[in-house]
Amino acid sequence: MDWGMRNRLSQLIKEDGHCFFMPIDHGYFQGPTRCLEEPGETIKPLLPYCDALFVTRGVLRSAIGPANSKPIILRVSGGTSMAGKDLANEGLTTSIEEIIRLNATAVGVSVFVGSDYEQQTLLNLAKLVNECENYGIPVMAVTAVGKELEKRDARYLALACRIAAELGARVVKTYWCKEGFEKVVKGCPVPVVMAGGPKCETEREVFEFVYDGMQRGAIGINLGRNVWQARHPAAMAKALQAIIHKKADVKKACEIFNEAKI
Ligand code: 5RP
């Protein structure tokens, strides 16, 4: 692996082998998502705890200061909306020149395995890998399910993750699942990062699935709504960082959260 690729991956994945990515890209298909109306303000108290931001070029330019920023994972797929027919009908939105101009540390692209747009989105990933590998820029594949949240079982996730890795993704982001998550990770030859999904009922529920996923082989999280839509976003981020980087278990994470929220 070239120095540039290794250097970028090491900015995202810390020395302990773990990572905490903060996605604020939801507006690219959801519009002004709750608590993300002003993304620059939303992330201010969370930045000390996360390792990288997952963001589109529009929000990057308008809301993120270029000095001393966290590493940027640029969201480069899109072209659909909640109001449209099918969220899976994505294309690539950002040229390689723009990715380099914005000094992205990595890029992220969704693949919709099993959808009507399976081939199109998988070829988006392959094309992006072809271009980004020339410049040492890692590609993170997002195994997306659109509105079909029930798809998130181990068999489906293992299929989607493996295919994304085979096509050249350096990191795969997928959902945690209760049954067989370790098989999803084992079947994927590149590191797996857990996505969040819609907000959980309680903070403890979030700590439980994150802790469980880490025990079963994930290297970290890419968690948005369960952090910045929480009642105490900074306390959530601090407790999650402790699970990811400080070996905290669920009990410890709850203690950290309860202390930090005061
Ligand atoms: C959408 C994405 C988002 O980054 C992803 O949804 C993570 O955010 P959340 O934890 O809120 O689900 O990739 O496809």
Which residue, 106, 151, 124, is CA-closest to 5? 106
Q: Is residue 20 part of a domain?
A: yes
Whether the predicted pLDDT of 198 surpasses 90: no
Mutate to test the pocket of ligand 1, among 24, 26, 93, 223 (most ligand atoms within 8 A of CB): 26
Q: Is residue 55 part of a domain?
A: yes
**CATH number of the domain to which 174 belongs:** 3.20.20.70
How many independent structural domains does the chain possess?
1
Q: What mean pLDDT comes out for the span 17-23?
A: 98
Q: Is residue 208 part of a domain?
A: no
Chain centroid to CA 251: 25
- pLDDT tens for residues 63-100? 999 998 999 999 999 999 999 999 999 999 999 999 99
Find out whether 47 and 70 touch, Cβ atoms under 8 Å: yes
pLDDT at 68: 83
> Which positions ≥6 away from 195 have C-beta within 8 Å?
142, 173, 174, 175, 176, 221, 222, 223
Cα dist from 145 to 14, 195, 200, whole Å: 28, 12, 18
223 lines ligand 1 (CB under 6 A): yes
217 lines ligand 1 (CB under 6 A): no
- Rounded to whole angstroms, how far apart are CA atoms 111 and 15? 29
The amino acid sitting at 99 is I
173 is catalytic: yes
The amino acid sitting at 128 is L
Q: Is residue 13 part of a domain?
A: yes
> Which positions ≥6 away from 4 have C-beta within 8 Å?
135, 136, 137
Q: Which domain holds residue 191?
A: 3-195
Find out whether 232 and 257 touch, Cβ atoms under 8 Å: yes
The amino acid sitting at 154 is A
Q: Is residue 115 part of a domain?
A: yes
Q: 51 alpha carbon to ligand 1 midpoint, in Å?
A: 16
- Rounded to whole angstroms, how far apart are CA atoms 167 and 151? 21
Whether the predicted pLDDT of 172 surpasses 90: yes
Name the pLDDT band for 192 (thresholds 50, 70, 90): very high
The active-site residue out of 151, 173, 178, 247 is 173
Q: Is residue 165 part of a domain?
A: yes
Q: 225 alpha carbon to ligand 1 midpoint, in Å?
A: 8
pTM confidence score: 0.96
